[in-house]
Amino acid sequence: MRSRDKLILTKILKYIDEIKLFIDGYSQEKFRNDRKTINACVFNLSQIGNLLVK
């Protein structure tokens, strides 16, 4: 595996870990009512998408 691919995978895992931290202990309803957490998760998902497009 190329070093660039490893770097991308490492970043993707970091974004996934951040999302997991944001939603830890949240019920589905609590998540739906927390715009800041939703936006933080969407941001991390978009960062993952950007890494996959490059």
| Phi, psi angles (nearest 5°) of residue 22 | -65, -40
Contact 6, 17 (CB under 8 A): no
pLDDT for 21 equals 98
Q: Which residues contact 44 (CB under 8 A, 6 or more apart)?
A: 15, 16, 18, 19, 22
Residues with pLDDT less than 70, the chain: none
pLDDT for 1 equals 84
Does the pTM surpass 0.85? The reply is yes
Query: Helix count (H) and strand count (E) of the chain?
Result: 3, 0
Nearest to 34 by CA among 44, 25, 26: 26
